[in-house]
Homo-oligomer: A and B are copies of this chain.
C-alpha cells in the first residue's frame, strides 16, 4: 500500500473526513450503490457486526428473551392504530403499492420499526397472566427514508439493529425491564466493546413516538458531537390500548398489559467503535469483535520461503480457536501488508522471518501501542490471548479517559456557550425535563444550536441552584451537547 492509499487526515484534526476515509479505504462499505442512502456492507464490516450481534443476543437470551422473525412488511391499517407513533414515522415510510403488475388492495409499509407488526400478534397470543412476561427480540433491518443527510453506520435509509419487545402484567415489572435493558447496554457496549456512555432519561419533547418515557445512551464522538446509542422505552399502556393487548389477571379480571421496547442499534454501535477506538492509521478492533484477530506476515527471500511459510502454518495451528490469517500474497511487500492490516484494525500482527525460525520466536506487533516485541513461540497461544485482552482493556481505558475529559459544568448561558466550543457534554442545572421545560430547551436550541439530552439515570444527581436559562428553581441536572 503506497502512502496515499492510507488514511491521509488526522482523526482529531478533521474527524469527518477521517471517518469517511476509514469507511472507504478500510473497505467497510461501498457507498456507490445506485439507490441513495443504501449501503453495500463489505466482509470486514459484516464479520465484525455478526460478532456484535452474537454478544447482544447472548445477553438478551440470558435475560429471558427469545428470538422471533416478523415480516418486513406492515399493512397501512396497523400503522394508524397509535396516533403519536404513526405521526412520528409516517413521513419516512417506504410504501409497497404493487406486486407484479397488480396494485395491492392495501399498500404495505417496509417496516421502519416493528411495534405495529408485532403488537397485532401479541394481542392474539396473550390471554392470561400465565402468558406474561412475554420477552421477544428480533435481529433485523429497518428502512427509514431519512430526509437528513445520511452517513455510513450513523444514519441511513436501511440499517441493522435488534429490537426487543416485552410485555408485563404490571407497571412495576415494565419499569424494572427498562433498568435491565440499560444494564444490557452497559454489559455489552461498555464492558465488551469498550465504549463508555451516559444513560439519559430524555426530556418530554424528545421521546420515542408513542412512549411514556425514553431512556437513551449517548456517547461523545471525536469531534465533540453527541451520538445517540441504544435506547429503551417505557410504553406504558399506550400500545396495549391501541392494539387491544389484554390479559386475565389471577382474579379473572381483564387488564391492559404494560409494555417496553429496546433498540440496540448494531449499526450505530459499530460507528462508535470505528470512531472512538480508531487512530490516525485507521481502525482498531477490540479483540472480541475483530474479524481477523491475528495476521501472520511471512518475511522471506525465495531461498527460505518454504521454511518460513511452514513455520507460519505451525504458528497458526497453535492459535486454534482464534481468527488467524496468513497473508502470503506474493504481489505485495511486507511493508505494504503491515500498513494494510493496521488500517483494517487487526489487533495483533505476527512477523515471522528467518530470524524467528532460527530462534524459535515470533515478533508480535500490537495495534494499539504500535510497538514490537520478540517472544518465544513456546507459549504463543496463551501470550497472544493475553495481549488481545490487554488491547481491549486499553481501548476501553482510553475511551473512558477521552469521555471524562469531555464533560464540563456551566453556571450560566455564557459558560455553556464557551464549554460547547470545546465539544462534549455541558452539565447544568435546569428547570424541568417535563413539558414545562420545553421553552428553555428551545431557547438553547435557537441560540446555541445545542440540545438538552436529558437527566442522567445511571447516577443520581441533585440540582443545586437555578435553571441556567429561565432562572427558576432547578428541578434537574441535565446535559447539553451538539448532536448528530
Interface residues of A (CB under 8 A from B): 30, 32-35, 38-43, 46-47, 50, 66-75, 77-78, 90-101, 107-108, 110, 117, 120-121, 124-125, 130, 136, 141, 143, 145, 147, 158, 160, 331
Q: Is the CB of A121 within 8 A of B30?
A: yes
Q: Is the CB of A99 within 8 A of B145?
A: yes
Q: Is the CB of B100 within 8 A of A91?
A: yes
In the complex, what's the smallest C-beta–C-beta distance from A49 to chain B, in angstroms?
8
Q: Is the CB of A121 within 8 A of B72?
A: no
With A68-B46, A71-B38, A72-B158 as given contacts, are A110 and B96 in contact (CB-CB < 8 Å)?
Answer: yes
Q: Is the CB of A100 within 8 A of B93?
A: yes
26 pairs from A and B in contact (CB 8 Å cutoff): A30-B121, A30-B125, A33-B117, A33-B121, A34-B77, A34-B78, A34-B120, A35-B71, A40-B71, A40-B121, A43-B67, A43-B136, A46-B66, A50-B67, A69-B160, A72-B141, A91-B100, A92-B100, A93-B99, A93-B100, A94-B99, A95-B96, A95-B98, A95-B99, A97-B97, A97-B98
New A-B contacts (6) at CB < 8 Å, excluding given A34-B77, A35-B74:
A35-B71, A47-B67, A92-B100, A94-B99, A96-B97, A130-B331
With A110-B110, A124-B32 as given contacts, are A40 and B97 in contact (CB-CB < 8 Å)?
Answer: no
Name A30's closest neighbour in chain B (CB-CB). Answer: B121
In the complex, what's the smallest C-beta–C-beta distance from A390 to chain B, in angstroms?
27
In the complex, what's the smallest C-beta–C-beta distance from A207 to chain B, in angstroms?
21
Q: Is the CB of B71 within 8 A of A39?
A: yes
Q: Is the CB of B94 within 8 A of A67?
A: no
Q: Is the CB of A40 within 8 A of B70?
A: yes
The residue among A72, A93, A147 with the most chain B CB atoms within 10 A of its own CB is: A72
* A75 and B36 alpha carbons, distance in the complex (Å): 10
In the complex, what's the smallest C-beta–C-beta distance from A242 to chain B, in angstroms?
15
* A93 and B136 alpha carbons, distance in the complex (Å): 30
Residues in B neighbouring A47, C-beta threshold 8 A:
66-67
In the complex, what's the smallest C-beta–C-beta distance from A329 to chain B, in angstroms?
9
Name A144's closest neighbour in chain B (CB-CB). Answer: B99
CB-contact partner of A91 in B101, B125, B331, under 8 A: B101
Name A89's closest neighbour in chain B (CB-CB). Answer: B100
Name A98's closest neighbour in chain B (CB-CB). Answer: B95
* A439 and B119 alpha carbons, distance in the complex (Å): 52
Name A138's closest neighbour in chain B (CB-CB). Answer: B46
In the complex, what's the smallest C-beta–C-beta distance from A203 to chain B, in angstroms?
26
In the complex, what's the smallest C-beta–C-beta distance from A157 to chain B, in angstroms?
8
With A40-B70, A43-B68, A124-B32 as given contacts, are A99 and B92 in contact (CB-CB < 8 Å)?
Answer: yes
Residues in B neighbouring A147, C-beta threshold 8 A:
100
Top 8 nearest A-B pairs (CB, nearest first) are A99-B145, A43-B66, A41-B69, A38-B71, A46-B67, A95-B98, A91-B100, A97-B97
CB-contact partner of A98 in B42, B94, B101, under 8 A: B94
Residues in B neighbouring A50, C-beta threshold 8 A:
67
Residues in B neighbouring A96, C-beta threshold 8 A:
94-97, 110
In the complex, what's the smallest C-beta–C-beta distance from A102 to chain B, in angstroms?
8
Residues in B neighbouring A136, C-beta threshold 8 A:
43
With A91-B101, A94-B99 as given contacts, are A71 and B33 in contact (CB-CB < 8 Å)?
Answer: yes
